[in-house]
Amino acid sequence: MMMNIPLTLSAMVEHAEKYFAKKEIVSRTATGITRLTYGESCKRIRRLGNALTKLGMKQGDRIGTFAWNHHRHLEAYFGIPGMGGVLHTINIRLSPDHISYIINHAKDRALLIDAELLPLIENVKDELTTVEAFIIMTDEDELPETSLKNVYHYEQLLKEADDRFELLTNIDENAPAGMCYTSATTGNPKGVTYTHRAIVLHCMALGLVDGGAISESDVAMPVVPMFHVNAWGIPFAALWFGTKQVLPGPMMTPAVLAELIEKEKVTITAGVPTIWIALLKELETGKYDTSSLRAVLCGGSAAPKGMIKAFEIKHRIPFIHAYGMTETSPLVTLSRLKSYQTDLEDEDRLDVRSKQGYVVPGVDMKVVGPNGEVKWDGKEMGELLLRGNWIADEYFEDERTDEAFRDGWLHTGDVVTVDEEGCIKIVDRTKDLIKSGGEWISSVDLENALMTHDGVFEASVVAIPHDEWQERPIACVVLKDEAKDSVTKEELLDFLKPQFAKWWLPDDLLFMDQIPKTSVGKFLKRALRDQVRELMKTTS
Amino acid sequence: MMMNIPLTLSAMVEHAEKYFAKKEIVSRTATGITRLTYGESCKRIRRLGNALTKLGMKQGDRIGTFAWNHHRHLEAYFGIPGMGGVLHTINIRLSPDHISYIINHAKDRALLIDAELLPLIENVKDELTTVEAFIIMTDEDELPETSLKNVYHYEQLLKEADDRFELLTNIDENAPAGMCYTSATTGNPKGVTYTHRAIVLHCMALGLVDGGAISESDVAMPVVPMFHVNAWGIPFAALWFGTKQVLPGPMMTPAVLAELIEKEKVTITAGVPTIWIALLKELETGKYDTSSLRAVLCGGSAAPKGMIKAFEIKHRIPFIHAYGMTETSPLVTLSRLKSYQTDLEDEDRLDVRSKQGYVVPGVDMKVVGPNGEVKWDGKEMGELLLRGNWIADEYFEDERTDEAFRDGWLHTGDVVTVDEEGCIKIVDRTKDLIKSGGEWISSVDLENALMTHDGVFEASVVAIPHDEWQERPIACVVLKDEAKDSVTKEELLDFLKPQFAKWWLPDDLLFMDQIPKTSVGKFLKRALRDQVRELMKTTS
């Protein structure tokens, strides 16, 4: 009937070298800017595939990368899967324990390491049980001093390799091509394996006008690290489509990013809200021409509406909210306006932009609350369930698979509402929800309401067990110094009353000096819950 | 690893009804304009699936359509594959013999027929051996008078069916979904079967910024008939992406098209050059506002440069040349400018636009001449070979499969040159090429050169067998009346001399009163070749 050609990363390389050989990769490393054409880059990809093969790497072997965003990391993105290996991008920000755990758990046979990140690997070298070769990526001719054994120089390996090495295209499209571990609330990180098929179809979603809309005429700068869900797949898509890419390297300050946007005429960039808050501040200096930007993609966590407004209204830079996770490759939703919404007033448009958006073609969602699938009314809450060809169906050799993957759906653990357009808005995590009498109460909604009170510095709401209602909400509040003597529990509860249904209101409100937080500043709800339950016991 | 969800047309329907229920389909039928939302249309698709199932149709059964571009035909596009059937779109312009041949060869179990096209089917009814049900699509409440038996009223069937009918999503993505027959030079038409996988991936190519760039914000009007390679896949992609579509129905005059473009704010339309030549003439009246148009896609045969110029320069309507065939779903190449070509002067830009372009992501090409793969110099000629997930690998139950599908490639029979950007330009058909001494001579190039001579009305060049050189070119020329007494053979041969290598020049030049043509006005080279060989015999 029709040909059935495996969807592979190697076919993408062949396409790029044929049609986009002149297009450019701008790579910022420790020593400065390197410029390569795709023609040159694809030859280096072939050399890398050959070098790894000569080192004894085989089909299916996991090969780790421990690196910033730069051209060598891009070569690994294609060179490793191109010789049949599995690109395992390691998050350099993990704890030493987790770094050694995931390298051993993935059974990485080789590691590609940025010279400046070498100490982090040396630090755990005695724990590593499977790594046979450490390949150092550096601009210097000489290898740095190191306590590691079996060390190779990346450029030296490439020099000795063949640039006509044949990349594997005739493989099962369901074979693994990549791998990334995601942090768990408790215990070790969980591994997600990406297949060739998943990555190629995800790239197509990135290239759809209604998806990422990445094209040959773009200049793409992934600020999101290449060790976070493949920099959201952008380096893959950009090479395939011949998109000029700007890889901003280590220690990217807001000024570095703003300069790259101006000088390289970046049209699309992607990263987490903290980056964009910092960039926004830098742009306020008025020193930069960012008129080339046609889209800022923002994901990882919800972007504050004020920031979206600053980009959209003040700087006239389209700011697109995205939702996804390591388990979803990651693109799931984008806050795109539908054609009949383009005439909305600024405020209404910002409302759409501050939701997470609706699913891109190729992803299927279901939102399930305590009473089954929720109404699309923007109010009823449910857990977001996902299905699609770039959604994982398991964690790599991990018994926690059964929690998240059930009945053919990924259970994201994210609680959302859905409006009548199918746009989701994240309102909580399932584990932070308060389940009261068969209904759900959003801890986040109550917290946000409390934090609008003038006297409140911060607030967190958690569940305590309840005999009749299963769970009931308790609010924990840190008052501003100047409010500590004046604001009472009753005043705050009265403040909430007109805003919520009666059964949503917290059963109690505790004043605290501080709320326990994670290293990145998020509320540590688990610890807070334990603390509150202990407190409630002693006071009751 | 990753979920493996079958790529199916039914999943596209589910996406459209969830996210684009409000979007519109504008359908022009014999009695006027019908407007439906995708919400309504998807319910009718489910009803059709149910109705066909109740009529006894089973998975894998071929069901034919014999219809213009309208909403019921669109329903068949999804309703037939949605219940497991194979949508066989029948070209209403075929001869009665070919119509009955393809219905019997496909073993169509049912036919969906436009009431106004009924006579064409009645005409062949005694030849049909497999059809058990004739379903008439009409705006009238009553069935028309007909000599057919087992006749059903489409709307009546839908009325009696269930709009909650579950479309099949859990099937093999490599199962057949559609079918279309293509005319052969000799003998009966050849059938091409489209799989669900092929159609879905082809839709993604249509939605890529660098592909068809069809999106939710577009208004798409396929002028190319829905019985020609699925109207180039546009109705499939438009429904999936929630694109408003305008289906122009029967007897579309240039005025009808221009009015629809203006009134419905069409942004993208697609068809063959003859349509655009006629539309261009209509636009010259200055009566229409066509400012909504962002792309005119043109394929089927090469568009004259003058027409491209009129659209691009005079009317400022981007005119995009496309190449494809029934065997390729059809999108293979598009004449898109690369980012570094956008500053080209008008004439150079037109040069790029008048080539067929380079392959879209997902298609792989190879161009093979007498000495292997050709140089990408815009000069060397070779046959275009194609590979990809939406390229056929056989003709349906047809022994001519082996001619076209060899070594994993579709041999298109089209002779092209490739420039350094990878853009192809069609220069001939392999069967019309002159193969002289192991090298190729393009008959089309010689013809075009001759036709620039003031005295020449038309010219065609064909091969005659040659003992030493295998084949040699002979030119056949029809002179303009006013030139008949003045222009000589020698003058014309001298005219060619400075333009070509010596071995390209025709061995002889024959004056004729007319050149045999096909019903659509193309040179009938086979007949001409026979005629010339006969002539040469008698004169030698």
- Please indicate whether, in this complex, the C-beta atoms of A209 and B204 are within 8 angstroms of each other: no
The rounded distance, in Å, linking the Cα atoms of A337 and A208 is 15
- Please indicate whether, in this complex, the C-beta atoms of B197 and A5 are within 8 angstroms of each other: no
The rounded distance, in Å, linking the Cα atoms of B392 and A197 is 20
- Please indicate whether, in this complex, the C-beta atoms of A214 and B217 are within 8 angstroms of each other: no
Under 8 Å between Cβ of B527 and B482: no
pLDDT in tens, A502-533: 999 999 999 999 998 876 677 788 889 999 98
- Please tell me if residue A328 touches chain B, with a CB cutoff of 8 Å: no
pLDDT in tens, B128-173: 999 999 999 999 999 999 999 999 999 999 999 999 999 999 999 9
Q: How far apart are the first and last CA of chain A?
A: 73
pLDDT in tens, B59-89: 999 999 999 999 999 999 999 999 999 999 9
Contacts of A420 (CB under 8 A, 6+ apart): A376, A377, A378
- Please indicate whether, in this complex, the C-beta atoms of B391 and A2 are within 8 angstroms of each other: yes
**Continuous segment of H or E residues that includes residue A526:** helix A525-539
B175 pLDDT tier (thresholds 50, 70, 90)? very high
The encoded tokens of residue B176 equal: 């057949």
Under 8 Å between Cβ of A113 and A136: yes
Alpha helices of B56-95 — where are they, by DSSP H? Answer: 71-82
DSSP code of residue A390 = T
Cα maximum dimension of chain B: 79
Beta strand pairing status for A133-137 and A219-222? unpaired
Q: How many C-alpha atoms does B418 have within 13 Å on its Cβ side?
A: 22
- B46 vs B518, residue with greater confidence: B46
Over residues A104-127, the mean pLDDT reads 98
Contacts A19 to B, Cβ<8 Å: 358-359, 421-422
The rounded distance, in Å, linking the Cα atoms of A303 and A254 is 17
Under 8 Å between Cβ of B69 and B247: yes
**Continuous segment of H or E residues that includes residue B244:** strand B244-247
Given a cut of 80, whether residue A447 has pLDDT beyond it is: yes
Please tell me the predicted confidence (pLDDT) of residue A489. Answer: 95
Cα nearest neighbour of A387 on chain B:
B3
The rounded distance, in Å, linking the Cα atoms of B67 and B65 is 6
Over residues A329-348, the mean pLDDT reads 94
Window 3-42 of B, Cβ < 8 Å to A? 3-5, 7, 11-12, 14-15, 18-20, 22-23
Question: A319 forms bridges with which residues in the sheet?
Answer: A296
The rounded distance, in Å, linking the Cα atoms of A157 and A146 is 18
Window 209-238 of A, Cβ < 8 Å to B? 209-211, 213-217
Please tell me the predicted confidence (pLDDT) of residue B487. Answer: 95
- Please tell me if residue B78 touches chain A, with a CB cutoff of 8 Å: no
The encoded tokens of residue A315 equal: 């700087």
Please tell me the predicted confidence (pLDDT) of residue B30. Answer: 85
The rounded distance, in Å, linking the Cα atoms of A82 and A344 is 47
Over residues A108-129, the mean pLDDT reads 98
pTM over 0.80: yes
Over residues A343-349, the mean pLDDT reads 90
The rounded distance, in Å, linking the Cα atoms of B332 and B321 is 11
Please tell me the predicted confidence (pLDDT) of residue B26. Answer: 98
- Please indicate whether, in this complex, the C-beta atoms of B4 and A392 are within 8 angstroms of each other: no
Given a cut of 70, whether residue A539 has pLDDT beyond it is: no
Given a cut of 80, whether residue B123 has pLDDT beyond it is: yes
- Please tell me if residue A191 touches chain B, with a CB cutoff of 8 Å: no
- Please indicate whether, in this complex, the C-beta atoms of A361 and B210 are within 8 angstroms of each other: no
**Continuous segment of H or E residues that includes residue B367:** strand B363-369
Q: How far does the CA of residue A390 sit from the closest CA of chain B (Å)?
A: 6
- Please indicate whether, in this complex, the C-beta atoms of B391 and A208 are within 8 angstroms of each other: no
Given a cut of 80, whether residue A209 has pLDDT beyond it is: yes
Given a cut of 90, whether residue B58 has pLDDT beyond it is: yes
Please tell me the predicted confidence (pLDDT) of residue B488. Answer: 95
Under 8 Å between Cβ of A107 and A62: yes
Given a cut of 70, whether residue B539 has pLDDT beyond it is: no
Please tell me the predicted confidence (pLDDT) of residue B346. Answer: 87
Q: At what angle do helices A196-207 and B196-207 cross, to 10 degrees?
A: 40
The rounded distance, in Å, linking the Cα atoms of B223 and B417 is 29
Please tell me the predicted confidence (pLDDT) of residue B540. Answer: 56
The encoded tokens of residue B303 equal: 């568009």
Contacts A20 to B, Cβ<8 Å: 338
Contacts A22 to B, Cβ<8 Å: 340
B523 pLDDT tier (thresholds 50, 70, 90)? confident
The encoded tokens of residue A9 equal: 């990363």
- Please indicate whether, in this complex, the C-beta atoms of B394 and A197 are within 8 angstroms of each other: no
Q: Reduced to 3 states, what is the DSSP secondary structure of residue B198?
A: helix
Rg of the Cα atoms in chain B: 25
Over residues B213-219, the mean pLDDT reads 98
Contacts A204 to B, Cβ<8 Å: 201, 204-205, 208, 361-362
Q: Reduced to 3 states, what is the DSSP secondary structure of residue B511?
A: strand
Q: How far does the CA of residue A368 sit from the closest CA of chain B (Å)?
A: 16
Rg of the Cα atoms in chain A: 25
Strands annotated E in A100-175? 110-114, 133-137, 151-153
Over residues A202-215, the mean pLDDT reads 98
The rounded distance, in Å, linking the Cα atoms of B260 and B269 is 11
Catalytic residue status for B186: no
- Please indicate whether, in this complex, the C-beta atoms of B216 and A210 are within 8 angstroms of each other: yes
What value does the mean pLDDT of chain B take?
Answer: 95
Q: Which residues of A176-208 are buried (b: 16+ CB within 10 A; e: fewer)?
A: bbbbbbbeeeeebbbbbbbbbbbbbbbbbbbbb
Please tell me the predicted confidence (pLDDT) of residue A305. Answer: 85
pLDDT in tens, B414-442: 999 999 999 999 999 898 999 998 889 99
User: For chain B, what percent of residues have pLDDT higher than 90?
Assistant: 86
Burial of B468 (0-12, 13-18, 19+ CB in 10 A): exposed
User: For chain A, what percent of residues have pLDDT higher than 90?
Assistant: 87
Contacts B194 to A, Cβ<8 Å: 1-2
Given a cut of 80, whether residue B538 has pLDDT beyond it is: no
- Please indicate whether, in this complex, the C-beta atoms of A389 and B216 are within 8 angstroms of each other: no
Q: How far apart are the first and last CA of chain B?
A: 73
The rounded distance, in Å, linking the Cα atoms of A212 and A237 is 10
Question: A508 forms bridges with which residues in the sheet?
Answer: A474
The rounded distance, in Å, linking the Cα atoms of A458 and A451 is 6
Over residues B345-354, the mean pLDDT reads 90
- Please tell me if residue A419 touches chain B, with a CB cutoff of 8 Å: no
Look-up: residue for tokens 């704890």? A95
Q: How many C-alpha atoms does A172 have within 13 Å on its Cβ side?
A: 8
Backbone angles phi, psi at B62, to 5 degrees: -85, 135
Given a cut of 80, whether residue B91 has pLDDT beyond it is: yes
pLDDT in tens, A133-155: 999 999 999 999 999 999 999 99
Torsion angle of alpha carbons B168, B170, B174, B175, nearest 10°?
-40
Given a cut of 90, whether residue B518 has pLDDT beyond it is: no
Contacts B364 to A, Cβ<8 Å: 5, 11, 14-15
- Please tell me if residue B358 touches chain A, with a CB cutoff of 8 Å: yes
Beta strand pairing status for A405-406 and A409-418? antiparallel
Cis peptide preceding A222, ω within 30 of 0? no
The rounded distance, in Å, linking the Cα atoms of A226 and A270 is 11
Burial of B367 (0-12, 13-18, 19+ CB in 10 A): buried
Return the percent helix, strand and coil in chain A, to nearest 5. 35, 25, 40
Contacts B408 to A, Cβ<8 Å: 3
Distances from the Cα of B353 to the Cα of A382, B45, B335, angstroms: 51, 38, 5
The rounded distance, in Å, linking the Cα atoms of B125 and B147 is 9
- Please tell me if residue B406 touches chain A, with a CB cutoff of 8 Å: no
Q: How far does the CA of residue B207 sit from the closest CA of chain A (Å)?
A: 5
What are the DSSP calls for B385-433, one per residue?
EEEETTSBSS-TT-TTHHHHEETTEEEEEEEEEE-TTS-EEEEEEGGG-
A437 pLDDT tier (thresholds 50, 70, 90)? confident
pLDDT in tens, B444-472: 889 989 999 999 999 999 999 999 999 99
Q: At what angle do helices B196-207 and B9-19 cross, to 10 degrees?
A: 50
User: For chain A, what percent of residues have pLDDT higher than 70?
Assistant: 99
User: Can you give A203-257 as a three-state secondary structure string?
Assistant: HHHHHECCCCCCCCCCEEEECCCCCCHHHHHHHHHHHHHCCEEEECCCCCCHHHH
Please tell me the predicted confidence (pLDDT) of residue A301. Answer: 81
Under 8 Å between Cβ of A184 and A163: no
Interface TM-score (ipTM) > 0.85: yes
Under 8 Å between Cβ of A124 and A114: no
B534 pLDDT tier (thresholds 50, 70, 90)? confident
Distance of CA A286 to the CA centre of its chain: 30
Q: Which of B68, B232, B240, B440 is catalytic?
A: B440
Strand order in the sheet with A32-37: A32-37, A24-29, A244-247, A219-222, A268-271, A295-298, A319-323, A333-334, A358-359
Over residues A26-48, the mean pLDDT reads 96
pLDDT in tens, B360-394: 999 999 999 999 999 999 999 999 999 999 999 99
What value does the mean pLDDT of chain A take?
Answer: 95
- CA-nearest of B247, B374, B228, B235 to B301 is B228
Please tell me the predicted confidence (pLDDT) of residue A401. Answer: 96
Please tell me the predicted confidence (pLDDT) of residue B411. Answer: 97
Please tell me the predicted confidence (pLDDT) of residue B187. Answer: 87
pLDDT in tens, B229-244: 999 999 999 999 999 9
pLDDT in tens, A388-422: 999 999 999 999 999 999 999 999 999 999 999 99
pLDDT in tens, B193-203: 999 999 999 99
Please tell me the predicted confidence (pLDDT) of residue A520. Answer: 64
Amino acid at B249: G
**Continuous segment of H or E residues that includes residue B445:** helix B443-451
DSSP code of residue A517 = B
Given a cut of 90, whether residue A186 has pLDDT beyond it is: no
Strands annotated E in A308-400? 319-323, 333-334, 358-359, 363-369, 372-373, 382-388
Catalytic residue status for B182: yes
